[in-house]
Amino acid sequence: MKSVVFKDRVKIYARGGNGGNGIVAFRREKHVPRGGPDGGDGGHGGSVIFRGDPNQDSLLPLYFHPHRKAQHGTDGKGNNKHGRNGKDTILPVPLGTVVKDPETEELIGEVLEEGEELVVAKGGHGGLGNLRFKSSINQVPNQCKEGTPGEEHAYRVELKLMTDVGLVGYPNAGKSTLLTELTEATPKVASYPFTTINPIIGTLMFPNYSRIRIADIPGLIDGASEGIGLGHHFLRHIERSRFLIFVIDMASHDGRNPTEDYQNLRKELETYNPELADRPSLVLANKMDEPDAAKHLENFKKETGLDPLAISAGLGEGTDPIKEILYEQFFGK
C-alpha cells in the first residue's frame, strides 16, 4: 500500500462543545429558614480552533482524523457554583491554510501567521442558574436556563503553501535535484517525468542562521491554468511564493524548446493569477553539462532577451550564485 506523506486538501467535521445547564437550587443552612436561590450557571462549551504553526507543512493530521470536537461545559451547582468550562480543541495547521464551505466554496477564513487562530466551531454558552432570575418581584425563582449546543460544521480545508521561493518548471527540468543542492530536503529524484507528485519544502540556511523556505512545485503542463492535469492543485501553491525560480531544461530533452518552455510557463502562471506576472523571479539554465546545452542557451538569450544563470544542478555547479542572489533578495535590503 502506498503511504500518504502529504495532504493539501481535506474535508473535516468540527463540533463545538455544548454549554452546561444552569440549575435550580436554594440555600439550606441552619438558622436560615428562608434561604434564597443559589443555583449556579453552566460552563461554556469548548471551541474547535485552528492555530497557525510554521512547523506544519501538510494537512495530514486532519486527513487521518477528520472528525474533531471540543469538550462540553458542565452543569452549574448549588451554592452559586459555576460549571466548568469545556476545553478548547486546538489544531495546529500550516501557514496558508484556507477554510471553505464545502458546498458553495465560500471562503470562511484563512490562517496566515504564526499563532493566528481561526474558530471553526464555537462552543455553546452555559445556561443560567436560578440565582440569575431573582428580582424584587420574584424572590424565589424556580426557573433556570439550559446551555446552548455547540456549533457543528463541515469544511473544505485547503493548503496554499506559504514559502519564500517557489521552483517552477516542466517535469524532469531538475527542480528536485536543485532543491537537494540548496537545502537538506530529500525529494525523490529520477530521470523520468513527474517524479515529484507533491510539493516538497526545504530550508536554505545561511552562515548567519538566516533561512528561507523553498518549495519544489510539481511539474506543470500546458493548460494547467485551465485545470488540465492536476491544474490548480499545483498552481495554488505558487500563489504565495514571494520569489519564483524558473528552472529551464537547456539540454532540450525529449525535443523540448527551452524558449517555448519558459514562455509557456509564464503564460500558465499569468493566466491563473495575473499578479504572478510581477512577482520577482530568477531564470536558471539547467543541465549545462550536457551536449548542445550551450547552443540552446545562446538561442534562448537571443529569442527572449534574457541572460539566465547557467547551472548544472546534477553536478552541484552554479548553486552558490543562486544562494547569493536569494540572500540579497531577502536580507540584503
CATH number at residue 302: 3.40.50.300
Report the pLDDT value the prediction gives residue 325, as an integer from 0 to 100.
Answer: 96
Same domain, 170 and 308: yes
Same domain, 123 and 203: no
Backbone φ and ψ for 280, nearest 5 degrees, come out as -55, 145
Same domain, 197 and 294: yes
CA atoms within 13 A of residue 291's CA, in its CB half-sphere: 0
CATH number at residue 25: 2.70.210.12
Query: Among 107, 129, 159, which residue terminates a domain?
Result: 159
Mean pLDDT, rounded, of the chain: 87
Report the pLDDT value the prediction gives residue 259, as an integer from 0 to 100.
Answer: 96
Report the pLDDT value the prediction gives residue 155, as an integer from 0 to 100.
Answer: 98
Query: Among 96, 131, 159, which residue terminates a domain?
Result: 159
Q: Could you tell me the pLDDT band of residue 219, with boundaries at 50, 70 and 90? A: low
Count how many domains the chain has.
Answer: 2
Same domain, 211 and 262: yes
Order the strands of the 243-249 sheet from edge to edge. Answer: 200-205, 211-216, 165-168, 243-249, 281-286, 309-310
198 secondary structure, DSSP code: S
Most confident of 36-50, 162-176, 201-215, 262-276: 36-50
Rounded mean pLDDT, 203-218: 90
Same domain, 315 and 189: yes
Same domain, 91 and 127: yes
Same domain, 236 and 125: no
Of residues 286, 304, 282, the one with CA closest to residue 294 = 286
31 secondary structure, DSSP code: T
Domain range for 56: 1-159
* pLDDT tens per residue across span 115-130: 999 999 999 999 999 9
Same domain, 184 and 74: no
Mean pLDDT is lowest, of 93-107, 159-173, 300-314, for 159-173
DSSP string for residues in 144-162: --PPPPPPEEEEEEEE---
Mean pLDDT is lowest, of 40-49, 234-243, 270-279, for 234-243
Same domain, 237 and 140: no
Report the pLDDT value the prediction gives residue 216, as an integer from 0 to 100.
Answer: 87
Distances (CA, A) of 6 to 57, 78, 186, 205: 8, 51, 14, 23
Angle CA 204–311–234, to nearest 5: 60
Q: Could you tell me the pLDDT band of residue 8, with boundaries at 50, 70 and 90? A: confident
C-alpha cell recorded at residue 331 = 536580507
Distances (CA, A) of 314 to 160, 172, 174, 292: 29, 12, 8, 17
Decide: helix, strand or coil at residue 63: helix
Assess contact for 282 and 325: CB atoms under 8 A: yes
* pLDDT tens per residue across span 220-261: 654 434 443 444 566 778 888 999 999 999 998 777 899 999
Same domain, 37 and 2: yes
* pLDDT tens per residue across span 69-112: 999 999 999 999 999 999 999 999 999 999 999 999 999 999 99
Cα–Cα dist 180/189, whole Å: 9
Phi-psi group of 32: left, alpha or beta (phi > 0 → left; psi -120 to 50 → alpha; rest → beta): beta
